Structure 1
Amino acid sequence: MPYETMPERPAAEVTLPAAGEFLTVLRTTAAALAATADFIIDDIEDLRIAIDEACSVLISRAIPGTDLHCRFFVDDGALTIEASAHVIDRRPPPRSGFAWMVLTSLTTSVDAHVREPDELVVTMTRAGSKAKAG
């Protein structure tokens, strides 16, 4: 799903402290929403790893004491996740780096950009195998 055409209302929104101990909540949310979209187990596991990787990048750059915000959109057999945090280092992750390699291999599409003065946003979409086949 192109980012410009995401539904206005997300299926879920989660805001948590930007700290690693809260990643399990985001992995679980992604898995639950993917299951409702009839994703197969392999797709769900790929999403769990992808959200973990994207949010780890954001957490590592987050301004201390700030939050990590995730919005989840379900549409036509695909799950799009927009994760953002206010960060010290606004530069998107290097596209030649390990994190980007993981994200591009586990998602259908991924993008990173800066919004507002210090908010880094990573948006990724994963189409379920059933959606890809049909």
Structure 2
Amino acid sequence: MPDPQAHPRADVELRLPADGVYVSVVRTTTAGLAARLDFLIDDIEDLRIAVGEACAMVLPEADADSDLVCSYYLSPGTLTVRVAVTAGNPSGPEYDSFAWQVLSTMATRAEADASGGQFSVSLTMESGVPGAGS
């Protein structure tokens, strides 16, 4: 996951109303960034699905006036996405939910955090392209 000390801000940040109608924008943005990093088509589709599931986990926890903030951290062969909402009293991640199972299966790494007045899910995907990370 991104280290705030080593990488103080996202390479790309998208801020939208915390409403499910905008998940398609998040999925399309994610796919576009992965394509720019030369991810394989199958990896891009896995990312689109995983990001959709991450949004499905955080949106029900959002406060009424919250934004859905998507932060993208780019490096050769790797894309990390963090989706977060302001949540005054988040119930925390449900690790046995279908959404978490899909997300953690498709992503290389995944984690959730319900602290500091936010609920966030972060996922990292590494490209299947040989030599992409070198």
Aligned to 1:71: 71
Structure 2: which 5+ runs fail to align? Answer: none
Extract structure 1 runs of 4+ deviating beyond 3 A: 131-134
Instruction: Please state if 1:59 is matched with 2:33.
Output: no
Q: TM-score normalised to the size of structure 1?
A: 0.88
Query: 2: distance between equivalents of 1:127 and 1:24?
Result: 22
Query: 1: distance between equivalents of 2:52 and 2:127?
Result: 18
CA RMSD of aligned residues (A): 2.0
Query: 2: distance between equivalents of 1:87 and 1:131?
Result: 40
9 and 65 in structure 1: CA distance in 2 versus 1, 3 angstrom threshold: closer
Q: TM-score normalised to the size of structure 2?
A: 0.88
Instruction: Please state if 1:106 is matched with 2:106.
Output: yes
Aligned to 2:16: 16
Deviation at 1:126, TM superposition (A): 0.4
Structure with greater helix share of residues: 1
Query: 1: distance between equivalents of 2:79 and 2:53?
Result: 16
Query: 2: distance between equivalents of 1:100 and 1:53?
Result: 7
Aligned to 2:45: 45
92 and 76 in structure 1: CA distance in 2 versus 1, 3 angstrom threshold: farther
